[in-house]
């Protein structure tokens, strides 16, 4: 509760700065952070429990999961053959999927708060040895995992956090030229498809479909794969509002894009040339906003649209997009308003200002307790 008696959410921090002389201790970093009125920051886990987290998501048992992106930026077991001006790298081979391929340092980890005090007191590595892992989603009796160039499925039918077998390769061909631009952010859509985004400096060729920046999706029952829409820059997150609108975020100074199936959006033509469809009339722009994003790229994104979600926040947060600002070392919130067939966004302020140049929010999610959880790389 705030001093005024308004019920508010506790912003929970997943903090992971390496303990070097230039950086702050986790406790000191939290102490320096400024929040919007009525909010506070709480430390959930820090080093040595977790390092370089790029992801936060809760499972159906209310447990918090992360990906420790420890292998970044270079894949294990591969050699650089060529690097272009955009940092796109050609390697000497395409690695086999785990466990046959080179063993990397990345981990998928679950943090459990047994005494419900807001801090993790049990840390369990579920999958280790991953080689640049950038996506995780739960469902269909197992875990869906992105480790380029593959979308993998690890079965875990008894939910004991021990995969029942080696992973099944569902898709292959995701681009691996740049570890800052990999396919990422696996998210279930309301239609039962598994969605993800891809960055601007990796080229995917999946079942004959070539693309770079854009939104793609996979159906776990029919095994279909589709390029949902193309464009948007280097992309780092997507979410759906209560009406099923898909909003995705990235870099380039854009806040977000409102995705329509089959549409083209503004892209970096200097890197990749014209749109893939030669008959397209043009492209859609990003969501209209009333100012600069306070530190692009925008990472993750959660839309508070329903009364149930808004009940854990003051009423002014309803219909808002909350986004991490990686280079701005902050989290901002934007009011989303209908604008014709799409939206406009008004910057309402910073939810968190870390005041720390080492702070880099990479993802955020809504917890079952009504708090926002976020990862700090």
How open is the CA angle 127-131-137, to the nearest 5 degrees? Answer: 50
Where helices occur in 226-306 by DSSP H, the ranges are 269-272
Element (H, E) at 331: strand 330-339
Place of tokens 């969501």: 287
Task: Tell whether 327 is covered by a domain.
Answer: no
- Count up the domains in the chain and report the number: 1
Task: Tell whether 18 is covered by a domain.
Answer: no
Task: Tell whether 216 is covered by a domain.
Answer: yes
Count of residues making up the chain? 377
pLDDT band, residue 190 (cuts 50/70/90): very high
Cβ-based neighbour number of residue 104 at 10 Å: 23
Maximal C-alpha separation, the chain? 61
Task: Tell whether 8 is covered by a domain.
Answer: no
Tokens of 342: 């799409």
Distance CA(278)–CA(290), nearest Å, equals 33
Task: Tell whether 329 is covered by a domain.
Answer: no
CATH number, domain of 286, equals 2.120.10
86 lies in which domain range? 45-309+334-376
Which pLDDT tens digit goes with each residue over 137-177? Answer: 999 999 999 999 999 999 999 999 999 999 999 999 999 99
Distance CA(136)–CA(126), nearest Å, equals 12
Task: Tell whether 286 is covered by a domain.
Answer: yes
Distance CA(374)–CA(56), nearest Å, equals 6
Task: Tell whether 326 is covered by a domain.
Answer: no
Task: Tell whether 19 is covered by a domain.
Answer: no
Which pLDDT tens digit goes with each residue over 277-331? Answer: 878 888 999 999 998 898 888 998 888 765 556 567 787 888 899 999 999 999 9
Q: What is the mean pLDDT of the chain?
A: 90
Strand-pair partners of 347: 334
Percentage of residues in the chain having pLDDT higher than 90: 76
């Amino acid at each position: 509760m705030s001093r005024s008696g308004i019920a508010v959410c506790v912003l929970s921090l997943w903090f992971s700065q390496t303990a070097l002389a230039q950086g702050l201790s986790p406790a000191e970093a939290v102490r320096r952070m400024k929040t919007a009125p009525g909010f506070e920051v709480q430390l959930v886990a820090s080093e040595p429990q977790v390092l370089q987290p790029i992801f936060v998501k809760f499972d159906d048992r209310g447990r918090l999961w992360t990906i420790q992106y420890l292998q970044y930026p270079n894949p294990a077991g591969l050699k650089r053959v060529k690097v272009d001006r955009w940092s796109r790298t050609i390697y000497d081979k395409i690695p086999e999927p785990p466990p046959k391929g080179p063993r990397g340092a990345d981990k998928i980890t679950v943090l459990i708060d047994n005494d419900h005090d807001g801090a993790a007191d049990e840390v369990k590595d579920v999958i280790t040895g991953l080689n640049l892992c950038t996506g995780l989603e739960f469902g269909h009796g197992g875990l869906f995992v992105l480790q380029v160039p593959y979308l993998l499925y690890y079965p875990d039918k008894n939910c004991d956090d021990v995969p029942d077998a080696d992973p099944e390769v569902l898709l292959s061909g995701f681009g691996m030229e740049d570890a800052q631009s990999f396919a990422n952010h696996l998210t279930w859509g309301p239609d039962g498809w598994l969605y993800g985004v891809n960055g601007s400096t990796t080229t995917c060729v999946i079942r004959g479909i070539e693309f770079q920046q854009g939104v793609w999706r996979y159906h776990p029952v029919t095994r279909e794969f589709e390029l949902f829409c193309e464009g948007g820059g280097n992309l780092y997150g997507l979410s759906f509002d209560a009406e099923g609108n898909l909003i995705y975020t990235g870099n380039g100074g854009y806040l977000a894009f409102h995705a329509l199936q089959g549409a083209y959006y503004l892209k970096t033509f200097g890197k990749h040339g014209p749109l893939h469809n030669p008959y397209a009339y043009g492209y859609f722009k990003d969501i209209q906003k009333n100012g600069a994003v306070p530190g692009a790229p925008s990472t993750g994104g959660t839309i508070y649209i329903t009364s149930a979600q808004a009940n854990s926040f003051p009423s002014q947060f309803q219909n808002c997009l909350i986004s991490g600002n990686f280079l701005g070392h902050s989290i901002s919130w934007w009011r989303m308003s209908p604008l014709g067939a799409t939206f406009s966004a008004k910057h309402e302020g910073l939810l968190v200002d870390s005041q720390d140049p080492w702070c880099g929010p990479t993802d955020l999610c809504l917890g079952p307790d009504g708090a926002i959880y976020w990862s700090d790389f």
